[in-house]
A and B are shown apart, each in its own frame.
Chain A
Amino acid sequence: MTTGQWVLLAVVLFVVGFAVYRVATDGHFRGTRRVRGSSEGTSAGTPGVPPAETAASVLAGSGVDVPLGERATLLQFSSAFCAPCRATRRVLGEVAELVPGVTHVEVDAEHHLQVVRDLRVLRTPTTLILDPHGQEVSRAAGLPKRDQVLAALERLS
């Protein structure tokens, strides 16, 4: 085979693998069982994340000053060059209207890079579900379906 054929083969295999992975994980909420930053899960802690004992909001001291929902907060990170962010905003907005005590907050990732790094947000949209104290309970990268958000909130209570 020529070099070009080898490169093409490698590209196609990578793309198929990546596409399957992406379609399978997009919008999927993870981490509901083990609350990040709780006393059991300190191994997941990163420098910059407030210590677990204080049970502080993940947004404490980040400059993002938002009211938290009574039951949960859907914290969405968006950026300017992000096609699925708009659709995510619509889905989360609907859920916030549907479920009492749940609020939706959208944060521009580019303007809050410190908190983006502290929370290890790698792509937009990323949605974090925060408990009433502002602790992260679950997160999903990519566009979530409405049912996925509702199911994740269900597991919270």
Chain B
Amino acid sequence: MSQQIDPRGQQFAAAVTSLVLVIALLTVPGPLGIALIAVQAALFATSVGLGVQRTPVATVFRSVVRPRIGPPTHLEDAAPPRFAQGVGLVFTVTALAAFLGGADLVGFVAVALALVAALLNASIGLCLGCEVYLLLHRLRSTTPDKNQIPARQQARATQEARSTT
């Protein structure tokens, strides 16, 4: 059983992420924008490394926000948001490298994608990274060598069908 968390904490974190990225988007490629992207990347890295409950934003949620909004009606698994924060980390690190290296267009696209995911999470609680996870899995295993297990199962099913007739 993995760790259980208050889903509203994730929405709060996503709202903070959205705010940071909006300001970043309006100030890049200036130093403030680049600094904000670096801060956000560090927050994502903390989530991935230590867990979504051990970030500074999560501490603010626990000590300031939750006492005002009461206990949650239900808890959620911590693994999906942690995975999504990893996706966010990839985008923000890409953006950081792009802006520092002068590839501004790449940087804007990367920040935009991270912001889309954060806004959808903050507004309707959607975990975009989690949905992409299955799609990537589907794509990756279209290569023939990864189809071994289904093929074996198919063979077994055929065998069973034969033995029943």
Point out residues on A near B: beta carbons under 8 Å: 2-5, 7-8, 10-12, 14-15, 18-19, 22-23, 60-63, 65, 79-83, 86-87, 109-117, 121-124
Q: Which residues of B contact A19 (CB under 8 A)?
A: 120, 123-124, 126
Q: Is the CB of B134 within 8 A of A110?
A: yes
- Which residues of chain A have C-beta atoms less than 8 A from B142's C-beta? 117
A contact residues around B134 at 8 Å (CB): 79, 109-110, 116, 121-124
What's the interface size class on B, roughly? 35 or more
Q: How far is the CB of A88 from chain B (nearest CB, A)?
A: 13
Which residue in B84, B123, B129, B146 is a CB contact (below 8 Å) of A15? B123
A81-B124 in contact given A4-B26, A11-B112, A11-B119 (Cβ < 8 Å): no
What residues of chain B lie closer than 8 Å to A82, measured between beta carbons?
A: 80, 127, 130
- Does chain A have a CB within 8 A of B31? no
Give the shortest distance, in Å, between A4 (CB) and chain B (any CB).
5
Sample of 19 further A-B pairs with CB below 8 A, known A19-B123, A61-B154, A81-B133:
A4-B27, A10-B112, A11-B25, A11-B116, A18-B116, A62-B150, A63-B149, A63-B156, A63-B157, A79-B137, A81-B83, A81-B129, A82-B80, A83-B125, A86-B77, A87-B74, A109-B134, A115-B150, A117-B142
Residues 68-107 of chain B: 1 if any A CB is under 8 Å from the residue's CB, otherwise 0? 0000001011011101100000000000000000001000
Classify the secondary structure of A's interface with B. helix
Could you list which residues of chain B lie within 8 angstroms of chain A, going by C-beta atoms? Answer: 7, 22, 25-28, 33, 74, 76-77, 79-81, 83-84, 104, 108, 111-112, 115-116, 119-120, 123-127, 129-131, 133-135, 137-138, 141-142, 146-147, 149-150, 153-154, 156-158
